[in-house]
A and B are shown apart, each in its own frame.
Chain A
């Protein structure tokens, strides 16, 4: 488990989530081990890609050798036939390099992309299983950044990074080996520069790490600001705050710029360092190799070979240094991805969970509940809603009304007591079958982007067009939908396009109706609907509640006077209960609330 998230079963993505994009270790065993598991299904592709890489590297190493052989054996001896053969071999080697590189690019990318594809899907699926508590604690933007940016980071590592690293490492080893074989003493002398390079790289890393962390944090701030700027644009414009916002954005954008410039300097500074070290090695070879040539201990060709190899030696070193930070970032991303995948849903179907048959009766037995430990929202609730009964719940904002609804569909787990459907504890049935029985029309009329028809069909995708219209009619939404230019095909966006909040609520109602659940919960579902429309909704509701168990949460009395029973909530407890008339006669809380509404100032 990562960052201790596993210690809290189903806990939020703790500190790591806040510190956004912190770099990880360069080699995190757990992350690598997990990634290896993802490689197993694509091992054939990986093998083909690796094969291609080996072929290509060998072909590349063979070129100078072929030139040397051609020069020494054939050109200097005037062997024309041999020259023909070597030229053909050369072409063959070049073809092999082509084939090798083709295999390498193609199959390694295939493998990388399918790993990414699987990771993305797994994360999305996993998010579908997590409970609402998780989404309360972790904001959308943060979760999105894990599914998008972190996966992107891994993709870059798999697509380019690892390839570069392996190729660079192979080249380094290859060159060092060839040099050692050619002239061990001179090779050791040349390689003596390497420790200096290692020290420089280590020191550089200390700075680079800090610089890159700063860059990551700066970009996260920029994106957050950007996101808010777009989401809140209507408020901004109505309060004429564009200038101030642009200035604020400029500030974070400038921070990002300066963090990046710092990082760019660090990246660039490696160039002269590597150049000078290369030159030092070249100088050593020229001086000491030159002595050996002059002393007749070594041929000129070897000396030239050494010089050329050194020029090639430091390129991969530079490459490795640059990739180092990429690997760290990818490791951190990997850790964050797996941390998310390891979070257990707080609410899971028990192994013995059964499918619930259509239900009607809902019971609360000594239920206490709070969203956060220590802060109880509901205290010791006992309540039975009979099959077919319509119960209305009223009370002040924050009195715990919506929590009741959340517990019935098991969005959250009770702290004490139990919630039952037809006498069965909701924890003993599968969540899916439970929620199929219970329809919720939520307070916030959320629509998905798509047509109105798609949205109504959301809970019952197989429904035909006629059924959709029927549901809309029942909800009282048909008339206004039919009046829209594109009717049921009207596209609604994340904010419901040009639909008013009330219109969206009607569509949400139609959506719940089409799903046709035996139990219906209306959570302030009519708050944005105007009076005339509400009367319409009342009528449809009256039809709707017939034969259904119905729970209506409302702050508007007109919605609830029809209810069989009205429950007044106060401070997380049931304060009053009875029919409209009974409660009026009692002259208690309910009476006062009614009075306030019907006697405006």
Chain B
């Protein structure tokens, strides 16, 4: 949870800043919101007036003894209630609509932001965490707009309305009642202040629980293989206990304070009965006056009870808002420069000039990397684990920005080009292959939505996947990904290759893309790639040495530095790391006897 780059904590008094920022989201709908507000005003006004209309009308009717005016009174009541209903409809519907539209906007904004946040952000975040923010937290914000915002205002108006009616009826009695209101308000603030950190904790724990569950389900094979079911259950149960404890803590605060607030409203009723009764007996107040007074004080209990509910919503809104805003406030580490150029029809010359790179606060991953590839050239990157091969590949399409030095394509710094145009020209097949829940056709066309069937099939053919697809009962319409058929590692890799080939990039990067393919298939892919690689600048990262043999330039990396460079025959002549790697693999394929000599 603390792994996101947090904005420096600003003064956020009682979460007011967060609330105001959330309200800003609803600004677009201020007309609707104002209409909802007006409807709410009328609803409240009718609520305050109806008892009076009824009471006084009945008094008049009964007092005059006119049967006919009873019907008139009944009709007035019917009309007043119907109007109140209509306004309540308007109020509820409009407020809900605003809340829905606002959460729709927030969800879109979140999705958009998550799509654009750079690899650095996603490297550090967990899907479960992000999901919980986009679902549970957005939902909490929706509740705020649907009920919390106008509800709070309505409650305040009710308080004010009832108070002024009370004062107009009898100011002394009114003072007795109103003396208790500050206490009620004080409790409401105390409760919501205490609940806020608890709800923040609850939301966070929910996300932790979600992550545990997701990992457990995704890694089920490992869990079972190591017979760790017991420990996993224990871990889950421990986290669930923490969540339970927080809920209980929240309940303790609520259970004590909410009824206390109702009690604080009931006490003045007793006092009024006691004191007002004396006034009536002393003839300085009429019985009717006292009754009306008691009824209006009774009405006060409703907004007070509502206040408890609202305190709950408000205290959930602020932490939820903070968690959502945290994502929305995270600026993608990599952005288009103002006035960035559109790359189009590149020749494919790639140049690294003294490039250095390190992930946040980590030891340098690349140091002093300089090389240049002519258009159409092929580069093979070889080296040990963690030597920085993949990092070089990730820097070209600007998944990360260099820490020092520069990378240019056709002489243009990649940071000066728009990311979209850059990535259209640099195709990369990544190590981890992600397929979307869609048909094979859509997966291949993922980066080229408008590609025709011909082009899709051609890409599949080039990746040696066409025959396999045709052998499936549904062919290109076969569903893959979460809800679809399971493809083998090799099939996935070929699909990813087809997907990249379809965007027809001038620069092609294959990041260890044939590791899960059996030798026969690899052979075929390699042939296809060579045909396709012609005219393209190609980067190949591999640990299968034979592939490197045909590369124009081989870069041998060690601990983030280029230790050897040249083509295959040059490097073989030198007695360096490359020769050793190459021989060792060649010998390994020829049997243990020779492999001993190869070392």
The size of the chain B interface, using a CB distance under 8 A, is 186
Contact bitstring B355-368, A, C-beta under 8 A = 1, else 0? 00001011100000
Check: B164 CB closer than 8 A to any chain A CB.
no
Known contacts A98-B263, A494-B127, A598-B546: A239-B228 contact under CB 8 Å: no
- Provide the bound-state CA to CA distance between A560 and B356, in Å: 39
Note all chain A residues with C-beta closer than 8 A to B447. Answer: 238-241
Note all chain A residues with C-beta closer than 8 A to B118. Answer: 237
- Provide the bound-state CA to CA distance between A245 and B295, in Å: 58
B565 to chain A, nearest CB (A): 17
Check: B267 CB closer than 8 A to any chain A CB.
yes
The size of the chain A interface, using a CB distance under 8 A, is 179
Which of A204-212, A224-232, A331-339 touches B? A224-232
Note all chain A residues with C-beta closer than 8 A to B544. Answer: 531
Interface residues of A in 213-266 (CB under 8 A from B): 222-224, 226-246, 249-250, 253-254, 256-257, 260-261, 264-265
A32 to chain B, nearest CB (A): 23
Check: A324 CB closer than 8 A to any chain B CB.
no
Q: Are B482 and A139 in contact (CB under 8 A)?
A: yes
Known contacts A128-B229, A230-B130: A601-B218 contact under CB 8 Å: no
Q: Are B399 and A237 in contact (CB under 8 A)?
A: yes
- Provide the bound-state CA to CA distance between A430 and B397, in Å: 51
Check: A503 CB closer than 8 A to any chain B CB.
yes
Check: B213 CB closer than 8 A to any chain A CB.
yes
Known contacts A105-B258, A261-B100, A272-B85: A229-B115 contact under CB 8 Å: yes
Contact bitstring B534-567, A, C-beta under 8 A = 1, else 0? 0000000011111101100000000100000000
Note all chain A residues with C-beta closer than 8 A to B266. Answer: 63, 90-91, 93-94, 97
Binding site of A, secondary structure by majority: helix, strand, loop or mixed?
A: helix
Check: B152 CB closer than 8 A to any chain A CB.
no
Check: A182 CB closer than 8 A to any chain B CB.
no
Check: A533 CB closer than 8 A to any chain B CB.
yes
- Provide the bound-state CA to CA distance between A442 and B518, in Å: 17
Closest to B107 in A: A253
Check: B588 CB closer than 8 A to any chain A CB.
yes
Check: A435 CB closer than 8 A to any chain B CB.
yes
Known contacts A80-B278, A253-B104, A535-B584: A493-B86 contact under CB 8 Å: no
Q: Are B123 and A495 in contact (CB under 8 A)?
A: yes
Check: A524 CB closer than 8 A to any chain B CB.
yes
Check: B491 CB closer than 8 A to any chain A CB.
yes
Closest to A293 in B: B62
- Contact partner of B263 among A97, A113, A268, A485, CB < 8 A? A97
- Provide the bound-state CA to CA distance between A567 and B216, in Å: 34
Note all chain B residues with C-beta closer than 8 A to A354. Answer: none
Interface residues of B in 249-263 (CB under 8 A from A): 251-252, 254-256, 258-260, 262-263
Contact bitstring B67-105, A, C-beta under 8 A = 1, else 0? 100110111011111101110110011001100110010
A79 to chain B, nearest CB (A): 8
Q: Are B259 and A97 in contact (CB under 8 A)?
A: yes
Check: B19 CB closer than 8 A to any chain A CB.
no
Interface residues of A in 435-465 (CB under 8 A from B): 435-436, 438-440, 442-444, 446, 448-449, 458-459, 461
- Provide the bound-state CA to CA distance between A121 and B527, in Å: 53
Interface residues of A in 492-511 (CB under 8 A from B): 493-495, 497-498, 500-503, 506, 511
- Provide the bound-state CA to CA distance between A101 and B301, in Å: 14
Known contacts A90-B273, A598-B586: A581-B122 contact under CB 8 Å: no
Note all chain A residues with C-beta closer than 8 A to B82. Answer: 272, 275-276, 279
Q: Are B362 and A91 in contact (CB under 8 A)?
A: no
Q: Are A600 and B526 in contact (CB under 8 A)?
A: yes
- Provide the bound-state CA to CA distance between A546 and B175, in Å: 91
Note all chain A residues with C-beta closer than 8 A to B78. Answer: 276, 279-280, 282-283
Q: Are B88 and A127 in contact (CB under 8 A)?
A: no
Check: A515 CB closer than 8 A to any chain B CB.
yes
- Contact partner of A397 among B71, B241, B488, B500, CB < 8 A? B488
Q: Are A80 and B281 in contact (CB under 8 A)?
A: yes
- Contact partner of A94 among B92, B263, B287, B431, CB < 8 A? B263
Note all chain B residues with C-beta closer than 8 A to A587. Answer: none
- Contact partner of A101 among B219, B259, B527, CB < 8 A? B259
Note all chain B residues with C-beta closer than 8 A to A273. Answer: 85
Known contacts A239-B499, A561-B595: A398-B226 contact under CB 8 Å: no
Check: B350 CB closer than 8 A to any chain A CB.
no
Which of A1-9, A191-199, A284-292, A360-368 touches B? A284-292
Which of A21-29, A81-89, A172-180, A381-389 touches B? A81-89
Check: A396 CB closer than 8 A to any chain B CB.
yes
B385 to chain A, nearest CB (A): 5
Note all chain A residues with C-beta closer than 8 A to B260. Answer: 98
Interface residues of A in 380-433 (CB under 8 A from B): 395-398, 409, 411, 431-432
Q: Are B526 and A562 in contact (CB under 8 A)?
A: no
- Contact partner of B218 among A101, A140, A241, CB < 8 A? A140
- Provide the bound-state CA to CA distance between A533 and B584, in Å: 11
Check: B590 CB closer than 8 A to any chain A CB.
yes
- Contact partner of A279 among B80, B269, B437, B481, CB < 8 A? B80
Q: Are B81 and A276 in contact (CB under 8 A)?
A: yes
Q: Are A307 and B592 in contact (CB under 8 A)?
A: no
Note all chain A residues with C-beta closer than 8 A to B70. Answer: 286-287, 290-291
Contact bitstring A548-587, B, C-beta under 8 A = 1, else 0? 0000000101100110000000000000000011000000
Note all chain A residues with C-beta closer than 8 A to B58. Answer: 286, 290, 300, 303-304, 307
Known contacts A128-B232, A524-B516: A257-B104 contact under CB 8 Å: yes
Interface residues of B in 515-534 (CB under 8 A from A): 515-521, 523, 526-527, 530
- Provide the bound-state CA to CA distance between A144 and B222, in Å: 18
Check: B247 CB closer than 8 A to any chain A CB.
yes
- Provide the bound-state CA to CA distance between A231 and B115, in Å: 10
Check: B215 CB closer than 8 A to any chain A CB.
yes
Q: Are B589 and A75 in contact (CB under 8 A)?
A: no
- Contact partner of A597 among B115, B482, B503, B546, CB < 8 A? B546
A372 to chain B, nearest CB (A): 11
Which of B192-200, B407-415, B419-427 touches A? B419-427
Interface residues of B in 152-169 (CB under 8 A from A): none
- Contact partner of B432 among A303, A495, A599, CB < 8 A? A495
A450 to chain B, nearest CB (A): 9
- Provide the bound-state CA to CA distance between A291 and B599, in Å: 113
Note all chain B residues with C-beta closer than 8 A to A113. Answer: 244, 247-248, 251
- Provide the bound-state CA to CA distance between A443 and B225, in Å: 13
Note all chain B residues with C-beta closer than 8 A to A350. Answer: none
Check: A58 CB closer than 8 A to any chain B CB.
no
Residue of B77, B254, B361, B486 contacting most chain A CB atoms (<10 Å)? B77
- Provide the bound-state CA to CA distance between A308 and B299, in Å: 11
- Provide the bound-state CA to CA distance between A136 and B499, in Å: 26
Closest to A120 in B: B240
B304 to chain A, nearest CB (A): 12
Closest to A56 in B: B259
- Contact partner of A503 among B55, B100, B386, B547, CB < 8 A? B386
Can you list 16 pairs linking A and B with CB atoms under 8 Å apart? A74-B277, A87-B273, A105-B259, A124-B216, A135-B217, A246-B111, A261-B96, A261-B100, A267-B92, A272-B88, A311-B50, A503-B386, A530-B382, A531-B584, A561-B595, A598-B586
- In the complex, the 4 A-B pairs of residues with the closest C-beta atoms, listed nearest first: A275-B85, A239-B447, A530-B543, A558-B588
Seed contacts A116-B244, A224-B482; 20 additional CB < 8 Å A-B pairs: A56-B259, A113-B244, A113-B247, A114-B244, A120-B209, A128-B223, A136-B486, A233-B114, A236-B115, A269-B89, A275-B81, A279-B80, A283-B77, A291-B70, A397-B489, A446-B218, A524-B516, A532-B543, A597-B519, A600-B526
